[in-house]
Amino acid sequence: MIKSRLNRKCQTTIPMAVCVALGLEPGDELRYVIENGRVRLGRVRAASGDDDLFATFPEWGSEADQQAYAAL
């Protein structure tokens, strides 16, 4: 069993063994799933296109737009 302790602000440090097991790196987002009095912790995996503005704003996805913004 791996343990950690909460501080006064209800914060904790994730033990290194957990970071290694989940492949966590600084800056990763975590997800918490609460079920039946238990919590599952996991890394939020970036969906493809998260950094793609054309995926975020589909109205900018025309061929002309892609060519215009290609050099940015």
pTM higher than the cut 0.85: no
Domain ranges of the chain: 16-69
DSSP character at residue 69: H
**Can you tell me the distance from the alpha carbon of 57 to that of 66, in angstroms, rounded to the nearest whole number?**
12
pLDDT value, residue 11: 95
Alpha carbons within 13 A on the beta-carbon side of 53: 7
What tens digit of pLDDT does each residue of 41-65 get? 999 876 655 566 656 666 666 777 7
- Give the total residue count for the chain: 72
Token digits of residue 21: 């097991």
